[in-house]
């Protein structure tokens, strides 16, 4: 069920939300800025339209099931809070340090 990728192999992070126009759009710029130094691009989509070249999917916990169904071979990182959730800093640290990302 769970997928793993090493942070150093991540090139594209996709933020998925229900419609792809609200919460994922809200988070996109900040995550893109924090991951840019590591050569990682960030896109945002609707949860049912996750691109196959996504290395990691980021989504709110309530959508995790749909995200895993949509991208069954990709680690799905979940968060509870839009502002200041530790999941974002943990993801950045894993990419920076080349640690495994499970989800």
* Residues 47 and 67: beta-carbon distance below 8 Å: yes
Q: Is 52 in the site for another protein (CB under 8 A)?
A: no
Give the end-to-end CA distance of the chain in Å, rounded to a whole number: 9
- Structure tokens, 86: 């530790």
Provide the annotated active-site residues.
17
Q: Is 49 in the site for another protein (CB under 8 A)?
A: yes
Q: Is 20 in the site for another protein (CB under 8 A)?
A: yes
For 34, how many CA atoms within 13 A lie in the half-sphere containing its CB?
A: 15
Greatest CA separation found in the chain?
Answer: 32
Whole-angstrom distance, CA of residue 22 vs CA of residue 37: 25
Q: Is 62 in the site for another protein (CB under 8 A)?
A: yes
Q: Is 6 in the site for another protein (CB under 8 A)?
A: no
Q: Is 46 in the site for another protein (CB under 8 A)?
A: yes
Q: Work out how close the CB of 75 gets to another protein at its nearest, in angstroms, rounded to a whole number.
A: 21
> Given candidates 9, 19, 65, 89, which one binds another protein under the rule CB under 8 A?
19
Give contact residues for another protein (rule: CB under 8 A): 18-23, 25-30, 33, 46, 48-49, 60, 62-63, 81-84
């Amino acid at each position: 069920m769970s997928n793993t990728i090493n942070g150093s192999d991540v090139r594209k992070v996709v933020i998925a939300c229900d419609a792809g126009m609200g919460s994922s759009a809200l988070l996109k710029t900040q995550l893109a800025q924090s991951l840019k130094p590591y050569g990682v691009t960030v896109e945002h989509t609707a949860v049912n339209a996750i691109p196959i070249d996504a290395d990691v999917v980021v989504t709110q916990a309530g959508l995790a099931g749909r995200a895993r169904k949509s991208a069954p071979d990709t680690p799905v990182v979940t968060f509870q809070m839009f502002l200041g959730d530790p999941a974002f800093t943990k993801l950045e640290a894993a990419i920076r340090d080349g640690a495994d990302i499970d989800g």
